[in-house]
Amino acid sequence: MNLVVLAAGLGSRFGGLKQIEPIDDYGNFIIDYSIYDAIQAGFDSVTFIIKRENYSAFRETIGKRIEDKIKVNYAFQDLNSYIPDGLNLENRQRPWGTAHAILCAKQVVDDDFAVINADDFYGRESYVKVYNYLKNKKNKDDFALIGYKVGNTLTENGAVKRGFCHIENGDLKGFTESSFEVINGKIYRRPLDEEKTIEVSKSDLVSMNLFGFTPKLFDFLENGFEEFLEKNKNDLSSCEFFIPTILTKYIKNNCGKIKVIDTDEKWYGITYKQDKNSVCKGIKNLVDLGFYPKNLWK
């Protein structure tokens, strides 16, 4: 069982991998806790999707410390990956997005896999649930999404963007990319393409980019990326190929189902610089309670 980690952008807001600040007293990053949780859940290999130019720094900073704990692979998200010959990319600078990043793992990953963001803390239960889904699934066409209660994903430091999940009989029907914010003790959602705000319950489910997939996804991504490039061929400078968009299309085309599996875990991440303190406190509390050893890899 493979864990695919979207890490091509890791370190970008810190000025580089070596500038990432640890979140515990032993020099560990959030990604260390994610890998530890995945191993405990049963995953036996990890594939990091990174920029090719970051390989040496990434392996030295993160990869080497876990190479004796789990099988480690690398896939590279390059601007020219899966691009047809002759396409003009002279005005393109940024990566193509999360769906393209996953597609770049096609040559490395040949079994069922989960996907996470490198700089998000998801909690042990979430890895156990996605592992069990993949292990026991009955249809290779069906995928899974771990749905987080929105109240467990917010910060007191400002608004955050989440994919609001539309669910019917336990299956995902689509996403609405929205901005969420706590105002006077209540949670409000504003769809990114609208001005109105909607009060929501803290138990409403959102996507934090933790998915369970089969290799069938890769062919769908490859075909979808071709269509995406054709649709945007007159201006390829800033368009992005995102996983929520492609999964919504997967559902609408009746290619398979996406089961939403809810979790009570609290998500931690550093959306704002001020968030680091609460992330460190939250993880330290879990260490003090015995969920993690004090020195993770020793």
pLDDT tens digits, one per residue of 107-132: 999 999 999 999 999 999 999 999 99
**What is residue 89's predicted lDDT score, i.e. its pLDDT?**
85
pTM of the model: 0.94
Domain boundaries, the chain: 2-150+205-288
**What is residue 15's predicted lDDT score, i.e. its pLDDT?**
58
Q: Higher-confidence residue: 243 or 15?
A: 243
112: left (phi over 0), alpha (psi -120 to 50) or beta: beta
Least confident range from 65-69, 175-179, 229-233, 269-273: namely 269-273
Contact predicate 275/157, CB 8 Å:
yes
Alpha carbon distance 183, 198 (integer Å) = 12
Give tens-digit pLDDT for 43-73: 999 999 999 988 998 999 899 999 999 999 9
> Residues with Cβ < 8 Å from 70, sequence gap 6 or more?
35, 38, 39, 43, 44, 45, 46
Alpha carbon distance 97, 90 (integer Å) = 18
Alpha carbon distance 36, 234 (integer Å) = 44
The label of the residue with tokens 């890998």 reads: 35
Across 184-189, average pLDDT:
94
Model confidence band, residue 105 (pLDDT cutoffs 50, 70, 90):
very high
Across 84-102, average pLDDT:
88
Angle between helices 216-231 and 243-252 (to 10 degrees): 110
With a cut of 60, say whether residue 206 has pLDDT above it.
yes
| Mean pLDDT, all residues of the chain | 93
Of the chain, the end-to-end C-alpha distance in Å amounts to: 24
117 CB neighbour count, 10 Å cutoff: 20
Q: What's the CATH class of domain 2-150+205-288?
A: alpha beta
Q: Higher-confidence residue: 190 or 92?
A: 190
With a cut of 90, say whether residue 273 has pLDDT above it.
no
Contact predicate 222/103, CB 8 Å:
yes
